[in-house]
């Protein structure tokens, strides 16, 4: 049966944390959930942008905003503490925020920025929120990408290759981060199953949607005029951000099993109704997932949950 957004239930009384919910796919997922009566916590780098985005979301649900900089592990811990103070239940944590490409930039901890933001920060957030995620039988969603197919992480990947790769190839690092999202979802699913944890994990490929992701890459490289052109071109050629949020919404539907990978069903999985896709070969090997898990634990200096 083709999945349709009407299959997703009303969400009254349920709380969702969505990272990067001030723009693009995260904002559109938040819009839908608020429209279904849910409470959405917009976990955002810039709270002024977050408040503005929250104000654009119409009820019957509600919103709150929390500051989250995934590229700074200390700030991730601070955000998790605030979330645990404010809430006693999470229906889902949507690990959506992401950056793509651009020049080599290092985080305060000295890690390459894309891997730190897209993978490490989200893994740290899951670890810090774990007691409540577990107690609430939450769903953890990792927003990956079709780019995950060409990720090069393997059982032999070293800490240096993961966090300070040289020579620096920004596009390849992005692919690796999206492979890491898919691997992390798969490993979390496997471990929860083995440990009997009620937490479920689902990965998502949004297709190709017109968001700030592409222009930001150009802006970071100092190519502001090209960034302006890219905003127009992507709006014409790509699916809308709302369409890009559909796989996330399907991932939140309880008919979607833990361990699933959700992607648009159309040509090259660029757009269309979300369907369940076979996990890419690059993310199927449990040894690669275990290696990523081990390296992530080493870097975070704490065991990941389960
Ligand atoms: N658009 C597509 O076609 C596409 C395709 C495949 C996968 N994806 C994935 O979809 C996800 C959402 O991206 P999008 O397309 O909606 O792009 P977007 O509009 O640029 O949204 C990205 C969000 O991530 C936030 N973010 C960036 N760095 C952060 C940090 N250090 N801490 C916290 N938040 C941070 C951004 O905040 P600021 O506004 O403050 O920068 C923004 O809210 C990403 O994971 C991306 O890899 C997108």
- Backbone φ and ψ for 65, nearest 5 degrees, come out as -125, 140
Q: How far apart are CA 120 and CA 17, in angstroms?
A: 17
Q: Is 174 a catalytic residue?
A: yes
Under a CB-based contact definition with an 8 Å cutoff, are residues 123 and 184 in contact? yes
Residue with the smallest CA separation from ligand 1 atom 17 is: 213
Residue with the smallest CA separation from ligand 1 atom 37 is: 20
User: In this structure, is residue 76 part of a structural domain?
Assistant: yes
- How much of the chain, in percent, has pLDDT values that exceed 70? 100
- How much of the chain, in percent, has pLDDT values that exceed 90? 85
Probe ligand 1: pick from 107, 178, 213, max atoms within 8 Å of CB?
213
pLDDT tier for residue 234 given thresholds of 50, 70 and 90: confident
**Count of domains observed in the chain:** 1
Strand partners of residue 139: 92, 200
pLDDT(1) > 80 = no
Q: How far apart are CA 238 and CA 249, in angstroms?
A: 19
User: In this structure, is residue 229 part of a structural domain?
Assistant: no
pLDDT(152) > 90 = yes
> Is any ligand 1 atom within 6 A of the Cβ of residue 247?
no
User: In this structure, is residue 226 part of a structural domain?
Assistant: no
pLDDT per residue as tens digits for the range 14-70: 999 999 999 999 999 999 999 999 999 999 999 999 999 999 998 899 999 999 999
- Backbone φ and ψ for 112, nearest 5 degrees, come out as -55, 135
pLDDT(242) > 80 = yes
Per-residue CA distances from 230 to 12, 36, 210 (Å): 38, 33, 9
> Is any ligand 1 atom within 6 A of the Cβ of residue 97?
yes
User: In this structure, is residue 1 part of a structural domain?
Assistant: no
Per the residue annotation, which of 111, 130, 174, 184 is the catalytic one? Answer: 174
Beta strands per DSSP E along the chain: 15-19, 39-44, 62-67, 92-95, 139-143, 200-204, 261-264, 274-276
The pLDDT assigned to 121 comes to 98
> Is any ligand 1 atom within 6 A of the Cβ of residue 102?
no
User: In this structure, is residue 178 part of a structural domain?
Assistant: yes
Q: How far apart are CA 70 and CA 111, in angstroms?
A: 12
- Domain enclosing residue 41, as ranges: 10-208+241-300
26: domain CATH number is 3.40.50.720
């Amino acid at each position: 049966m083709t999945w349709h957004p009407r299959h997703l239930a009303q969400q009254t009384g349920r709380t969702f944390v969505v990272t990067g919910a001030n723009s693009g796919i995260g904002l559109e997922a938040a819009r839908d959930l608020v429209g279904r009566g849910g409470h959405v916590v917009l976990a955002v780098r810039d709270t002024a942008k977050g408040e503005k985005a929250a104000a654009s979301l119409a009820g019957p649900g509600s919103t709150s905003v929390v500051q989250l900089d995934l590229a700074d592990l200390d700030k991730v811990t601070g955000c998790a503490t605030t979330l645990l103070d404010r809430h006693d239940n999470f229906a889902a944590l949507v690990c959506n925020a992401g950056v793509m490409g651009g020049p080599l930039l290092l985080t305060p901890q000295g890690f390459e920025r894309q891997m730190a933001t897209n993978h490490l920060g989200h893994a740290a957030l899951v670890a810090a929120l774990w007691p409540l995620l577990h107690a609430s039988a939450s769903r953890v969603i990792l927003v990956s990408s079709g780019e995950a197919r060409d990720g090069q992480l393997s059982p032999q990947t070293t800490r240096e290759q993961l966090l300070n790769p040289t020579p620096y190839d920004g596009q390849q690092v992005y692919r690796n981060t999206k492979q890491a999202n898919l691997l992390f979802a798969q490993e979390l699913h496997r471990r929860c199953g083995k440990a009997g944890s009620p937490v479920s994990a689902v990965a998502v490929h949004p297709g190709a949607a017109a968001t700030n992701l592409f222009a930001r890459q150009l802006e970071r490289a100092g190519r502001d005029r090209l960034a302006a052109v890219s905003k127009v071109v992507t709006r014409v050629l790509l699916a809308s951000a709302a369409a890009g949020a559909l796989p996330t919404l399907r991932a939140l539907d309880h008919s979607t099993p833990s361990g699933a990978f959700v992607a648009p069903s159309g040509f090259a999985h660029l757009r269309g109704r979300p369907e369940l896709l076979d996990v890419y070969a690059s993310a199927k090997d449990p040894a690669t997932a275990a290696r990523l898990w081990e390296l992530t634990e080493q870097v975070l200096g704490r065991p990941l949950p389960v």
